Amino acid sequence: MATPMELSCWAGDWGLPSVHTDSLIVLAYAKFSGAKLTIEPVDWTWKTLTGTVPALHCEGTTVTEPVQILNFLRKQRYNADYELSAKQGADTMAYIALLEEKLQPALLHTFWVDTENYANLTRPWFASHSPFPLNFFLPSRLASMALSRILLTKGESPLHSIMEVEAKIYSEAKECLNLLSHRLGSSQYFFGNTPASLDAFAFGYIAPLLKASLPSCQLQQHLKQLSNLCQFCDAILKNYFVDRAPGSPPASQDTVDANLQKLTQLVNKESNLIEKMDDNLRSSPQHRPRRADPKPSPLCSERNSTPA
């Protein structure tokens, strides 16, 4: 039973055990089910490029993707859903589908496509957690994957343009957060007093949005109005991750690599600067209309603050 299991995932920050949604889902589920995982962050290794994250290694087999890893853990008798009825199991599937279809596109957009957040938060973070030549290349690769995923799943076919889908995905995401908040109500977890896999998924999606210090944060502000969801995240962090969150393991590594990190951040800032200059050069008249895009946002915030 006690075969050693090793999970490779992105490291933590912002008071979270991991900054990466899928990694966070697996970590939370492992805590809920009592599975002992050895955590091996992929940061500062070449695995950031080649490995699929998160990945669970156990006795020579490798499992990727949160859903598959959760199934694998269940087969190892680490089951957090043991007490759920068949109908609750069905509800779990349905709400996971809701999160994936409605919340994920907006989260990807918030972290990877929104220029301000990407330049000031996401890219510096991922660049400073990748080894030297990759730091120039990895964040933009992840960003283009996120963008193409949004466009392919939400774009309307012939002319895929991010401008047209932005308003739509944000209003859908806000609605999804409202629905989750209604579903959670005043109970501690989604199915009573013990957390199950749906709680792991909801936590994985919501926690980074809640904890990251985003410069452009319309979705985050909406989330902060839904106090029961915020409490739900804080409770999970407090009950299951409290020894880890203030973070001795990342901190110790920090001191070792502090100099290196500072250096990479410096380089990143410089490349940011270069990119901004480049942007300024490019924002000649033909790009003006694109810059004026905050137009739809007041509309949608107006529209969505009412049901909250």
Altogether, the residues listed in the chain come to a count of: 308
- How far is 239 from 253, CA to CA, in rounded Å? 25
Tell me how far, at minimum, the Cβ of 62 lies from another protein, in Å. 14
**Could you tell me the CA-to-CA distances from 33 to 27, 159, 245 in Å, in that order?**
10, 45, 19
DSSP annotation of 3 reads -
Tokens of residue 265, six digits: 């951040």
- Point out which span in 72-80, 263-271, 280-288, 292-300 binds another protein (CB under 8 A): 292-300
- How far is 45 from 173, CA to CA, in rounded Å? 34
- How far is 213 from 235, CA to CA, in rounded Å? 20
Query: Closer CB to another protein, residue 145 or residue 266?
Result: 145
Query: Closer CB to another protein, residue 47 or residue 183?
Result: 183
Tell me how far, at minimum, the Cβ of 181 lies from another protein, in Å. 9
The site that binds another protein (CB under 8 A) totals a number of residues, namely 36
Instruction: Give the SS3 label for residue 254.
Output: helix
Does 273 participate in binding another protein (rule CB under 8 A)? no
Site string for another protein, 55-84 (x = CB under 8 A): ----------x-------------------
C-beta separation of 7 from 26 below 8 A: yes
Does 279 participate in binding another protein (rule CB under 8 A)? no
Site string for another protein, 106-145 (x = CB under 8 A): ----------------------------------------
Does 245 participate in binding another protein (rule CB under 8 A)? no
C-beta separation of 26 from 57 below 8 A: no
Contact set for another protein, span 150-189 (CB under 8 A): 152-153, 156-158, 164, 167-168, 171, 175-176, 179-180, 182-183, 185
Tell me how far, at minimum, the Cβ of 235 lies from another protein, in Å. 20
- How far is 171 from 138, CA to CA, in rounded Å? 30
- 112-162-156-105 Cα dihedral, nearest 10 degrees: 20
Tell me how far, at minimum, the Cβ of 221 lies from another protein, in Å. 18
CA angle 79, 173, 7 (to 5 degrees): 35
Query: Closer CB to another protein, residue 38 or residue 71?
Result: 71
CA angle 51, 198, 42 (to 5 degrees): 20
Q: Summarize as ranges the residues that interact with another protein (CB under 8 A).
A: 65, 86-87, 89-91, 93-95, 97-98, 100-102, 148-149, 152-153, 156-158, 164, 167-168, 171, 175-176, 179-180, 182-183, 185, 296, 299-300, 303
